[in-house]
Structure 1
């Protein structure tokens, strides 16, 4: 069985890679402009990133508790997060190129994404590959 840390990083990396790759894809010939509902889906996904960041920051001094909290959160939120990623991929396919690029930029370089990457990097730097 793989350590919890590897499971956490694999789930997170798979989500980021899937969203990034699919947002960079080619849209339909009859593309539509970006709508506020699209931003709401993206905001929900970034809300999950914010919650994971808070868990990493909260348990910065206790890696086992941090991994347990993240594992508990991901067990509860895996299906909703997967649904959001699927919705986002569908949205990306419908958008025109400029709006798709703007959405990708907003998703990958948002404050929540940067906070998450900083928290994950700090946790990894402090505890390495296997903090358990």
Structure 2
């Protein structure tokens, strides 16, 4: 858990470091479009999840087959380090998704999709 007065500071650090990771990933990962994070600061850092979003399921699958998961994990780990976040198992804090999947199951409503996913984490 992180103290209430520290939440804004941590959020700004996370946004800055994840934005940098996102910009580094765009030219490296075909079909990668954006990333976001969800967190419940009452359960920080356990609840922190970074969702990496690709345009299509096909591009996501192709990226994974070409070893992009390691690049994604490395960029996420660096972003966490830059923000001062320590986690035990990085894989529990990284989610991969696609615009296509969100459109199909949530009519493009990312807020609803991320809320549903955060319950599972």
Q: Where on the TM-score scale, by shorter chain, does this alignment land: which range?
A: 0.3 to 0.5
Structure with more helix by fraction = 1
TM-score when scaled to structure 2?
A: 0.35
Between Structure 1 and Structure 2, whose CA radius of gyration is higher?
Answer: 1
Structure with the larger RCO, 1 or 2 (CA within 8 Å, 6+ apart): 1
Per the normalisation by structure 1, the TM-score is: 0.32
- In terms of fraction of residues, the more strand-rich structure is 2
